[in-house]
Structure 1
Amino acid sequence: NKFGGVCVDFEEATKDAQPNLLRFMQELQAAFKPRGWIVVQAVPFDDPDWNYRDYAAASDYLMLMAYDEHYAGSKDTGSISGQSWYEQNLIARMKDLTPAKTIIALGNYGYNWTAGASSAKEVSFQEAVISAKDSEAEIKFDETTRNPYFSYEEEDKSQHTVWFLDSVTAFNQIRAASGYRPAGFALWRLGSEDPSIWSIFGSDQLNPVPDGLKRIVYGYEVDFQGTGELLRVLTRPHDGERSVQTDQKTGFINSEKYISTPSSYVIERTGDHPGSIALTFDDGPDPEYTPAILDILKRENVPATFFVIGKNGQAYPDLLRRIVNEGHELGNHTFTHPNLGEIPGRLTDLELNATQRLIESVTGRSTVLFRPPYFGDAEADKPEEVEPALRAQQLNYIIVGLRIDPSDWKPNVTPDEIVQRTVDKAMDDNPETRGQVVLLHDSGGDRAATIEALPRLIHELRAK
């Protein structure tokens, strides 16, 4: 696999386990060194049970995890990596370590503590600022720890306190450590960070404060509101803004104010109807499987929605007419089934319009339903998934997601698996994860298992 080495991270190793762990690291380094492979060990920042000097000797680089001053299981809420706590431990560690063999891992995440709960929930930077925005809470900058925090009350009257780390805390920590000239800095963890951190990570220009730090880049996650599997994109991403004040003597940031919060895509979910199930079939029509499915649906008196591929409908127009004549709905699934996130927007328009015109010319009916190809579920969580959906929405389509995917498209799937997966998901009590739209397929491969499973699936869902 051509990896250059390994990073070892044994969490919460007890005092009794230390001799064996050290021996393991020594043996690992002895085995890796002749092959030219690097050994990195991640270690806690402030644990007296760890012999940092011995572990440094047994690795090429020691990575100090400079966070979790307060953690999920802490009895009290508090800073994740307060500046004084960070600097004091940094001084203590660097007395035993060689800077050129030391990597400092900075945190960029947070914890949401609920009053009375036994543990906190870890949250990303984006989740933290979304919670602050939705609850209209003011994000404050604690002057003592130089960590941001806020408090709010949930609709159920529960009291929450959120402490988190952002690019400002990273700036101060990098500045404090730069005098030691460590081998580098690491980040815990990718995807949870304040994206503005990349304006300072790897940069030697920390004085004055980079302008990129004042711009709060929107995050990676999509913000969902409501429940259901019909999707509507409410807003596109936009950046936020912060102001900072710097201590003129030390160069550290001693004040931070969130002027406006960033926002990623905001998608509204609707269509939640407990007790109802919608059967949908993608990728048809197919001359073998679509008629068999229509026969079953007719016998069981069950309506369904068929998201058709235009080129298949062009090849089998009689099946399009039969679908409509027997009381089912047609939906647009593009003309050639491309990954819309990988083609220009104008081609997306062409794919949709060609299929729409075909449906209209063959059946005399139109459709406003659209499901993008390769659309995994009811939570499109990547820009390349959201943008095509937004483009279709601007053409007045309703975006139909799904929560129940029994994977009937996978090779060797059995009818029993299709039925059980569908029923289990439909019976989920959590409205945030419960499914009501079932994804099945009537083309694109061997659908014999789907045909066999369908009558049983209908009977079991009705019985529930």
Structure 2
Amino acid sequence: MRADRSHARRVRVFALAMLISVAAQAQSLPSPLVWPHQARAAVSLAYDDALDSQLDIAVPALNRHGLKASFYLTLGSDTVRERMAEWREVAAQGHELGNHTLFHQCAGSAPDRGWVSADNDLDTTRATQLVAQVRVGNTLLQALDGRQERTFAAPCGDLRASGEPYLQALKADFVAMKSAFGGVVADMQTLDPYAVGVEVVSDTTGAQLIALVERAAAAGTMVNITFHGVGGDYLAVSRQAHEELLHHLASHRAIYWTDTFVNIMQYVKAQRIPQAHRSQ
């Protein structure tokens, strides 16, 4: 009998130790990020370069479906200068105006960059000069929309000016940055807000676009889709493919939280603050 009681005590001690170990492991694992309205994924739709087709086709389509998106303006472009009132209205409708630099400098030495002019070659633009220009861009954007918090998208995904990294100097100026490739985020807990990846789409079908957001829903994370032309301009997707994606998102609001990149990243950063810090 004494041996039986001793054995039972050992079993209870072992079971208690296992429970403590499992609890400790659970606490050490990152908790999954819970999206608003219990959605399964966040979707950031972005439109780069301030193109006419974005104002003529993309914005009306987004508004018709009640979806919000981010427009990264090349602030020195003719479309910004000639249609400034319309961009101001885009912001008033709840869309984000993001910073895409003044002149869209890219590295002329990269493959297939014959279109990069000598004046806008990132290989010969000083990092300090580019940083100063980006900050001027924020001032211009604030004059358009009255907002101070915004995000940045690195043109062409190039991260060096005259061989020197420039994004580090701008981190304090932005909530987050799109500066990498790969649209579906693998892990929200380890995501660097200043190196968020994007999926740049061109000549993509509606089914392919929908497959992207479905991958994000399966992972429980987010997807960042970047458009240029919609039904026109360059690097374009068709009006039909764009419409099919928007219809899918609007028809499945319980699954997808579609919002501006600045709103999504503000939410992500707030959710990742440890609970003890939130109460201070």
Which range, TM-score by smaller chain?
0.5 to 0.7
Q: Is the 8 A contact 1:331 1:367 kept in 2?
A: no
Note closer, same or farther for the CA distance 1:385–1:375 as it changes in structure 2 (3 Å cut).
Answer: farther
Distance 2:58 2:171 in 1: 30
- 3-state SS, counterpart of residue 86 of structure 2: helix
* 1:380-401 C-alpha deviation (Å, 9 max, x unpaired): 8x99999322121144553235
Structure 1 contact 311–335 (Cα < 8 Å) conserved: yes
Other structure's SS at 1:335 match: coil
1:301 aligns with 2:66: yes
The structure with more strand, counted as a fraction of residues:
1
Where structure 1 has 5 or more consecutive residues not aligned to the other structure, the ranges are: 1-154, 158-225, 229-270
- SS of corresponding position for 1:393: helix
Structure 1 segment 169-248 matched on structure 2, within 5 A: none
Q: Determine if the alignment matches structure 1 residue 415 to structure 2 residue 205.
A: yes
**How many residues are treated as equivalent by the alignment?**
189
In the alignment, structure 1 residue 348 sits paired with structure 2 residue 136: no
| Structure 1 pair 311–450 and aligned structure 2 pair: CA distance change class (3 A) | farther
Separation in structure 1 between the aligned mates of residue 216 and residue 100 of structure 2, nearest angstrom? 24
Q: Which residue of 1 aligns with 2:55?
A: 290
TM-score if structure 1 supplies the norm length? 0.35
Q: Does 1:319 align with 2:86?
A: yes
Q: 1:276 to 1:319 in 2, by over 3 A?
A: same
Deviations 1:248-283 (A, max 9, x none): xxxxxxxxxxxxxxxxxxxxxxx8844221211111
Q: Which runs of 5+ in 2 are unaligned?
A: 1-23, 108-121, 184-197, 256-280
Q: Please state which structure has a larger fraction of its residues in helix.
A: 2
Higher relative contact order (CA 8 A, sep 6+): 2
What is the distance in 2 between the residues matched to 1:302 and 1:329? 12
For the residues of structure 1 that align with 2:57 and 2:168, how far apart are their CA atoms? 34
Q: 2:104 aligns with which of 315, 328, 337?
A: 337
Query: Do the aligned partners of 2:71 and 2:97 also contact (CA within 8 Å) in 1?
Result: yes
2:43 counterpart (270, 277, 284) = 277
Question: Cα distance 1:344–1:375, how it changes in 2: closer, same or farther (>3 A)?
Answer: same
Distance 1:227 1:296 in 2: 36
The offset of 1:295, in angstroms, is: 0.5
Matching residue of 2:195: none
1:362 to 140, 144, 154: 144
Give TM-score scaled by structure 2 length.
0.55
Cα distance in 2 between the residues matched to 1:339 and 1:388: 13
1:414 deviates by: 3.8
Name the Cα RMSD after superposition: 3.8
Rounded Cα–Cα distance in structure 2 between residues aligned with 1:388 and 1:272: 33
Following superposition, which runs of at least 4 residues in structure 1 exceed 3 angstroms of deviation? 271-274, 362-367, 382-386, 394-397, 400-403, 442-448, 461-464
